[in-house]
Amino acid sequence: MTPGARVQAAIEILDLVIAAARANGAPADRIVGEWFRTRRFAGSKDRRAVRDLVYAAIRACGPVPISGRAAMLRLAQDDPSLAGLFDGQGHAPAPIAAEEPVAAGGVAPPWLERALAESDISGDQAQALLARAPLDLRVNTLKADRATLALPQPGEPGLAPQSLRLPHGTQVESWEAYTTGQIEVQDIGSQLVCAALGAQPGELVIDLCAGAGGKTLALAAAMDNRGRLIATDTDRARLSRLEPRAWRAGVTIAETRLLDPGREAEALADLAGQADAVLVDAPCSGTGTWRRSPEGRWRLTPDQLARYAAVQARLLDLAASLLRPDGRLGFVTCSLLDVEGAGQAAGFLARHPDWSAQELHLAAGTSRGPGVRLAPGRDGTDGFFVACFRKT
Ligand SMILES: C[S@@+](CC[C@H](N)C(=O)[O-])C[C@H]1O[C@@H](n2cnc3c(N)ncnc32)[C@H](O)[C@@H]1O
């Protein structure tokens, strides 16, 4: 592909990403993959170049752009060599017309920038939400140990005890250590918030919003594969991905349970008042993971955010009912917004005056209300809020 054809390809992909963001469709990663699946003429260098252009344009536009071309023109405004490729030659995009609409820049749509600023994320801290994330590994202690594990490319030991950090884009999926379950891809922040629950061998632990099990596997390793670990979620497709991952990681204590939205308590009635610990890794805006999915900020609306906050409150109350009297409730969101973090945690404490927040001693993060917040700019991890509650 010529450089101009790559720009035109990126524009076409951006049109699809924008449409998907408006209709709550597929994530950008999947759209890029699909686009190339049907265009075999593109070589690996073309794919990388187009992908980089697509993501650079997504990062450059705060609000959702009107078109892929407007998004690419935003990028071209600061890059004369990119602007020069709009020459209409071959498969290149048409020349730039005077007065053509250019998408707006910024970190996020204005309402969301304001919400972040009200949660003390602005300036460099806000900009850091859109940086490229490194690749973090967790060495799976059920099969290996960080001190002795030999990898094709040694990583930098991170702040979580079994973590290793590698450059963005390292292809670990083909490594033997990956295929044999000795390593998992997991952000260091995610490893730290899992550890905050303090899951112990022999306990009954519930991972209430387990998804595909990223944190379930870390909890199983902390429990040394002893006890009972119940992974639940309302999303059948996500939960079904947990089983093969658990098998690869040598996790034998995880049981999955699919929940019906709105009827979760019924499916968990046999566990009421029984659990030693419950993790609520709640559905949220994902503002802490924009480094990986920058188009997430084009999808969020104030209504959606309010819906997330309502579900979080409901799941926290459900989790409290599952715990035995001195059990621990871990609340995690990958969000930097107080409404899904410190504010939500304070709301739980207000509704449950007989509960209190435990002091957390994480290797990173800053205290925020009843919990701790990790931020990409300050901590170099994905953004998270974590709090741990206990009945007093
Ligand atoms: C932040 S994600 C979980 C990520 C997962 N724990 C991990 O570490 O990979 C939130 C999950 O909550 C699930 N969810 C949404 N509503 C739920 C509900 N009412 N009960 C349980 N899970 C729910 C979503 O399907 C999603 O998988």
The pLDDT of residue 42 is 84
Q: Please name which of 65, 56, 52 lies closest in space to residue 16, comparing C-alpha atoms.
A: 65
Q: Which residues pair with 329 in a beta bridge?
A: 278, 389
Q: For ligand 1, is residue 209 a contact (CB within 6 Å)?
A: yes
Model confidence pLDDT, tens digit, residues 184-216:
999 999 999 999 999 999 999 999 999 999 999
ipTM: 0.99
The pLDDT of residue 41 is 86
- Binding-site residues for S-adenosyl-L-methionine sit at 233, 260, 281
Q: How far is the CA of 280 from the centre of ligand 1 (A)?
A: 8
**Ligand 1 pocket, mutate which of 234, 251, 263 (most atoms under 8 A from CB):** 234
Nearest CA to ligand 1 atom 3: 211
Give the list of residues 6+ apart from residue 280 with CB closer than 8 angstroms, or none. Answer: 208, 209, 312, 315, 316, 319, 329, 330, 331, 332
The pLDDT of residue 2 is 95
The atom of ligand 1 lying closest to the CA of 215 is: 8
Q: CA-to-CA distance for 275 and 297, rounded, in angstroms?
A: 36
Regions of the chain with pLDDT less than 50? none
The atom of ligand 1 lying closest to the CA of 334 is: 1
Nearest CA to ligand 1 atom 6: 210
Burial of residue 317, with CB atoms counted within 10 A of its CB: 0-12 exposed, 13-18 middle, 19 or more buried: middle
- Kindly calculate the radius of gyration of the chain based on its CA atoms and give it in whole angstroms: 22
The pLDDT of residue 392 is 86
For residue 301 the two structure tokens come to 């609306």
61 is a catalytic site residue: no
Q: For ligand 1, is residue 214 a contact (CB within 6 Å)?
A: yes
The pLDDT of residue 279 is 98
What's the CA angle centered on 279, arms 275 and 351, to 5 degrees? 85
Model confidence pLDDT, tens digit, residues 265-296:
999 999 999 999 999 999 999 999 999 999 99
Q: For ligand 1, is residue 281 a contact (CB within 6 Å)?
A: yes
Q: For ligand 1, is residue 187 a contact (CB within 6 Å)?
A: no
Q: For ligand 1, is residue 261 a contact (CB within 6 Å)?
A: yes
- Binding-site residues sit at 233, 260, 281
The pLDDT of residue 39 is 87
Q: For ligand 1, is residue 283 a contact (CB within 6 Å)?
A: yes
Q: How far is the CA of 207 from the centre of ligand 1 (A)?
A: 9
Q: For ligand 1, is residue 210 a contact (CB within 6 Å)?
A: yes
For residue 256, the surrounding DSSP H or E stretch is strand 254-258
Give, rounded to a whole angstrom, the gap between the first and last alpha carbons of the chain.
65
Q: Which of 61, 194, 209, 334 is catalytic?
A: 334
